[in-house]
């Protein structure tokens, strides 16, 4: 794999660091750059990106729509049965559960805990 193949992941992680620091304006364009081409996004990366950007923009309607797209993603037949599906759904649920809080708080483990 060449170095350019890692750029989207590097953009994502830089964006997360900026978002955790509260610099949402710098984080959002970097998150946009991390998208997968639609024909290669079998694991719901793009809906996860959409949900995170919606959270940063304080757009609960868009966040909820992105969560729905992620949750409805069909599970690949060759996926390990023990693996949870879809990836990052718990993170998005945490963003919804802690909507209005900072990204640093909402991304954290407290917001991912199921509400009892």
Residue 50 has pLDDT above 80, yes or no: yes
% of the chain at pLDDT higher than 90: 78
CA distance 55 to 88: 14
CA separation, residue 11 to residues 36, 48, 71 (Å): 12, 14, 24
- What 11-18 contacts at long range (C-beta under 8 Å, 24+ apart), as own/partner pairs, is 12/49, 16/107
CA distance 21 to 67: 24
> Quick one: pLDDT at residue 81?
66
The string of pLDDT tens digits covering residues 62-87 is: 999 999 999 999 988 887 766 789 99
The answer to whether 96 and 70 are in contact (CB under 8 A) is no
CA distance 13 to 22: 14
Q: Average pLDDT of 35-60?
A: 95
> Quick one: pLDDT at residue 88?
94
> Quick one: pLDDT at residue 110?
92
> Quick one: pLDDT at residue 68?
97
Q: Enter the tokens of residue 98.
A: 């802690």
How far, in whole angstroms, is CA 77 from its chain's centroid?
Answer: 23
pLDDT band at 114 (very low <50, low <70, confident <90, very high): low
The mean predicted confidence, pLDDT, of the chain is: 92
> Quick one: pLDDT at residue 115?
56
> Quick one: pLDDT at residue 83?
74
Q: Average pLDDT of 42-57?
A: 97
């Amino acid at each position: 794999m060449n170095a350019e193949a890692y750029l989207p992941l590097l953009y994502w992680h830089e964006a997360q660091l900026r978002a955790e620091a509260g610099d949402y304006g710098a984080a959002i364009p970097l998150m946009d750059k991390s998208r997968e081409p639609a024909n290669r996004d079998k694991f719901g990366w793009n809906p996860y990106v959409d949900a995170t950007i919606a959270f940063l923009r304080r757009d609960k309607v868009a966040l909820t729509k992105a969560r729905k797209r992620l949750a409805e993603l069909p599970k690949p037949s060759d996926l390990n049965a023990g693996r949870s599906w879809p990836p990052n759904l718990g993170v998005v649920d945490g963003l919804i559960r802690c909507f209005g809080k900072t990204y640093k708080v909402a991304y954290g483990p407290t917001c991912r805990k199921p509400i009892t």
